[in-house]
Amino acid sequence: MGARPAIAAALLLAALPARAAEYAALQGHGGPVRAIALNGDGTALTASFDYSVGYWRDGAPTWLEGHRAAVNAVIWLGAGRAASGGDDFDVRIWDLATGDSTALPGHEGKVVALALAPDGGLLASASWDGTLGLWPLDGQGGAGPPRFLDGHQGAVNDVAFSADGARLFSAAADGTIREWDAATGAELRTVIAHGFGVNTLELGPGDAWLAYGAVDGGTRVIDPETGAEIGDFTLDRRPILAMAVPPAGDMLAVGDGEGYIMVLDTDDWSLARDFRAATRGPVWALAWAAAGDAIAAAGISDTAYLWPLDGLSGADAVLGAGERSFLRDPATMTNGERQFARKCSVCHTLTGDGARRAGPTLENLFGRPAGSVPGYSYSPALRDIGITWTDETIDALFDEGPDHYVPGTKMPMQRIAGAQDRADLIEYLRTATDPERSRP
């Protein structure tokens, strides 16, 4: 158990149940926070590297001790109970009133994710031993004999139940998402083979969609029945580490290794918010307040933060305008347009419509001196570089990467390795940034 700083009084979680209008910090763990679970009644659970589970009520934590290593996952079981999973290979069930717990041994690797069947009768665990564990809960804080589902060719990173609880979906380092029969444990099929390891998955209400995030930054939404792509939100940010959906199912939050949190509106898959967590570093854990009006996140720091969605602005928070939809039939898009949609649109508009983005508008980009959009607050590096944007300079910007081409720029590090992709992007930008040519 790591040394834990004395608990400061700065715990504002009590503000949660009404409306989460306040920024709040869950402060007190003695190591990074790996998982967060918020409850509708304003209580919260956190899991930490410091071997403990934090149970937060009225702004104060109770430390649940029992794991013999870092705790990676935590969920509510209802009826005053919670479950956690740790690097000690154990799943633990907690009685939150007493702090007592029962270990459920059996996994032979770290337990990194947990899911509860909709009827509360079955707990599923994802483990780096390559299996899924299924634990029938007895309602008394214990569990019947587990079943281990074997089939993945590598560490299992995440697990979710279908809406009716009859099936399970699992995401693994072998790059696949698989579907299982929850009653028999039989593997039903491989839903997708992404290639790169899949870190996280979420199912929409009624299994209307399945979203997943991968090591290569892949951020996709598919139809879980057919595997057909509903949307591709991949940016040059990797890896994708965390996803969360509020109880209403109307939003999807995506956290990545570079500290960004993107919020998509699942009605039309438009970008609702995109901001960089003030703490920087990877976003390992995300959780929504029950009302869907605030989001909690944690990463490398010992503190988890809760942000009211409406308050996401200012130096470290970058707002997407929300009127844009990624949902386009990729077949109707040119490669250049696709490059822009995936790699640039989250931060740049093409027209000077005033929509707020992290970067300046790209309207009339060609022939424009660098750093010259009035009212945009450029970095000194870009403002003073003394170049003009042309095919050649834009090509060089993404061939070398902004961090090399404009050392000190605010534009995040990203390269477009393929010469053809750069050429297609530039060709698209030539038309799309020209108000005369892009408007019908």
CB of 268 to ligand HEC, least distance (A): 21
Provide the minimum distance between the beta carbon of 300 and ligand HEC in the complex, in angstroms, as a whole number. Answer: 20
Considering the complex, state which of residue 129 and residue 424 has its C-beta at the smaller distance from ligand HEC: 424
Q: Which is nearer to ligand HEC, 32 or 371 (CB)?
A: 371
Distance of alpha carbon 232 from alpha carbon 218, whole angstroms: 8
Smallest gap from residue 177 Cβ to ligand HEC (A): 27
Amino acid at position 351, single letter: T
Question: How many Cβ atoms are within 10 Å of 250's Cβ, its own excluded?
Answer: 15
Cβ proximity of 305 and 296 under 8 Å: yes
Nearer to ligand HEC, 42 or 257 (CB): 257
Minimum distance from CB of 197 to ligand HEC (Å)?
A: 23
Show Cβ contacts of residue 139 under 8 Å, excluding neighbours closer than 6 positions.
Answer: 79
* Alpha carbons 269 and 221: distance in angstroms, whole number: 9
The two beta strands, 111-116 and 101-104, are unpaired
Which residue, 298 or 346, has its beta carbon nearer to ligand HEC? 346
Look-up of token digits 């961090």: 403
The C-alpha atoms of residue 127 and residue 159 are separated, in whole angstroms, by 10
Q: Residue 194's closest CA among 252, 225, 234?
A: 234
Specify the length of the chain in residues: 440
Residue listed under structure tokens 């589970």: 53
Kindly tell me which of 195 and 408 has the beta carbon lying closer to ligand HEC: 408
CB of 371 to ligand HEC, least distance (A): 5
Q: Which is nearer to ligand HEC, 135 or 389 (CB)?
A: 389
Euclidean distance between the first and the last CA atom of the chain, given in angstroms as a whole number: 65
What minimum distance in Å lies between the beta carbon of 381 and ligand HEC?
6
In angstroms, what is the minimal distance from the CB of 204 to ligand HEC? 26
Contact 269, 221 (CB under 8 A): yes
* Contact by Cβ (8 Å): 32, 281: no
Note the residues at the interface with ligand HEC (CB under 6 A): 343-344, 346-348, 358-360, 365, 370-371, 373, 378-379, 381-382, 389, 394, 398, 409-412
Smaller CB separation from ligand HEC, 4 or 430 = 430
Name the residue nearer to ligand HEC (CB basis): 244 or 344: 344
Q: Calculate the alpha carbon distances from 76 to 53, 55, 94 in Å.
A: 12, 11, 9
State in angstroms the smallest separation of the CB of 326 from ligand HEC: 13
- CA–CA dist 123, 126 (Å, integer): 10
